[in-house]
A and B are shown apart, each in its own frame.
Chain A
């Protein structure tokens, strides 16, 4: 119930291509869905987040698509660049002072 399932585990994308990472959850009490970007040796940094009252949120090249009925959300990185190469974690939490539940992460490599 508390798990967030993330796929794929790793992803290789050509420069300029679209990177797509998917997550699914079971707990319907979750109401905040962030994506974190992590570079080696660094802490997770918030990339973009969405709440279930909208189906899509876009910030620059990054878009979250959210499907409440399917309990799925995904991250799309348009025009992927080598600098986007990092590990991406989806996460979820319910309202109030509750901890984040993280997916297992996706290692993205963008090759020129």
Chain B
């Protein structure tokens, strides 16, 4: 069964450093998303991406964040200068059609020290 994969599973970084979280969405899916979940809290939307551009972003997704689909398979989230409050689980999701189901990856746990 096709699945969304994410790497790394756990990333530890120092405050102020740049991190890149990687995702491989399900092949032939067209819509891509990043969500985050601070420990013990709800899942929050960050950004959606379609047709090689951002379609929607939340207020959390400020100038420190960027997304890219550098090739036909990877979808990345970059945090340019990490802050302590960026520590969270980051989930990538993909969807085949606009009204279809979103499939989530297993997440990357980001720890900012």
Contact = CB atoms under 8 A, between A and B. Distances in A.
Interface stretch (B14-22, B70-78, B80-88, B102-110): B102-110
Contact of B107 (A42, A91, A99, A102): A42
Interface residues on B, range: 20 to 34
A99 B42 contact: no
Interface residues of A, number: 23
Nearest to B43: A102
Contacts of B91: 43-44
Interface in B1-38: 4, 31, 33, 35
A64 B95 CA distance: 22
Contact of B104 (A45, A96, A98, A101): A45
A49 interface: yes
A53 to B, nearest CB: 13
Interface of B: 4, 31, 33, 35, 41-45, 48, 50, 55-56, 58, 91, 95, 98-99, 101-107
- CB-based closest 6 A-B pairs: A43-B104, A99-B45, A102-B43, A104-B42, A102-B42, A97-B98
